[in-house]
Copies of this chain bind each other. A is one copy, B any other.
Amino acid sequence: MTTKPLIDYFEKFLPLNEEEKSIVENVFKERTIKRRQFILQEGDVCKHNTFVVEGCFKMYMVDENGKEHNLQFAVENWWIGDIGSFHSEAPSRLYIEALENSIILQAKKEDQLKLFVEYPKFNRIFRVLAENAMVSLQNRILQNISSTAEERYLSFLEKRPQLFNRISNVQIASYLGVTPEFLSTIRKKIAKS
């Protein structure tokens, strides 16, 4: 019963009855992923919606110069996936790679759609999830267009302290949109003050 963390997660939004719990167990399949393994690569269609039970992932784009740009990290109790590709079934521009050995739960698109059609409660839960994600993304954009890199780094430390000890500064720099070298000078400046 690895689906327990996911059921607990859903129940933070709306309580589930026994039937709904058992459909979650049927729809979401457990997978074990090793560090450095990919669950999505550029050019592939994103066929799964992924919930992280244990471990850590990054989702990133590779630009024309071969540089990686981290769009998102996901640790325990986070969702990750290229929703755009998942819905449109167009090839993704993104990679999703495990930063640690991980355990995930995945739903295939057709199963998740069935869930939405047959169990309206999940429709409601996923609407709220998407809206919450929108709010975080909007806040991140506001930060990006209004703050310096130093302010963005401080705010990242404040908002995601769990990640600070778990992810290398190279990865954090890529998420913030600065070079690792510049992040290093920012850290030096902060340490001094």
Residue positions of A touching B, CB distance < 8 A: 61, 63, 67, 69-72, 83-84, 87, 116, 120, 123-124, 126-128, 130-131, 133-135, 137-142, 144-146, 174-177
The reply to whether B83 and A145 contact each other, CB–CB distance below 8 Å, is no
Q: Assess A69 versus B176: contact at CB under 8 Å? Given A120-B120, A127-B126, A134-B137.
A: no
Q: For A116, give the chain B residue with the smallest CB separation.
A: B124
Select one of B127, B131, B133, B144 contacting A145, CB under 8 A: B144
Task: Collect the chain B residues with CB atoms within 8 Å of residue A87's CB.
Answer: 128, 131, 135
User: Could you tell me the distance between the alpha carbons of A144 and B178 in the complex, rounded to whole angstroms?
Assistant: 11
Residue from A127, A128, A137, A174 having most chain B Cβ neighbours under 10 A = A127
User: Could you tell me the distance between the alpha carbons of A84 and B56 in the complex, rounded to whole angstroms?
Assistant: 27
Number of copies of this chain that the complex holds? 2
User: Could you tell me the distance between the alpha carbons of A185 and B39 in the complex, rounded to whole angstroms?
Assistant: 43
Q: For A139, give the chain B residue with the smallest CB separation.
A: B84
The reply to whether B134 and A127 contact each other, CB–CB distance below 8 Å, is no
Q: Assess A137 versus B141: contact at CB under 8 Å? Given A124-B123, A127-B123.
A: yes
A27 to chain B, nearest CB (A): 17
The reply to whether A83 and B134 contact each other, CB–CB distance below 8 Å, is yes
Task: Collect the chain B residues with CB atoms within 8 Å of residue A69's CB.
Answer: 142, 145-146
**10 examples of A-B residue contacts, CB within 8 angstroms:** A61-B142, A71-B142, A84-B138, A87-B128, A87-B131, A140-B141, A141-B144, A144-B144, A145-B175, A145-B177
Task: Collect the chain B residues with CB atoms within 8 Å of residue A177's CB.
Answer: 144-146
Task: Collect the chain B residues with CB atoms within 8 Å of residue A83's CB.
Answer: 131, 134-135, 138
Select one of B124, B133, B146 contacting A63, CB under 8 A: B146
A109 to chain B, nearest CB (A): 13
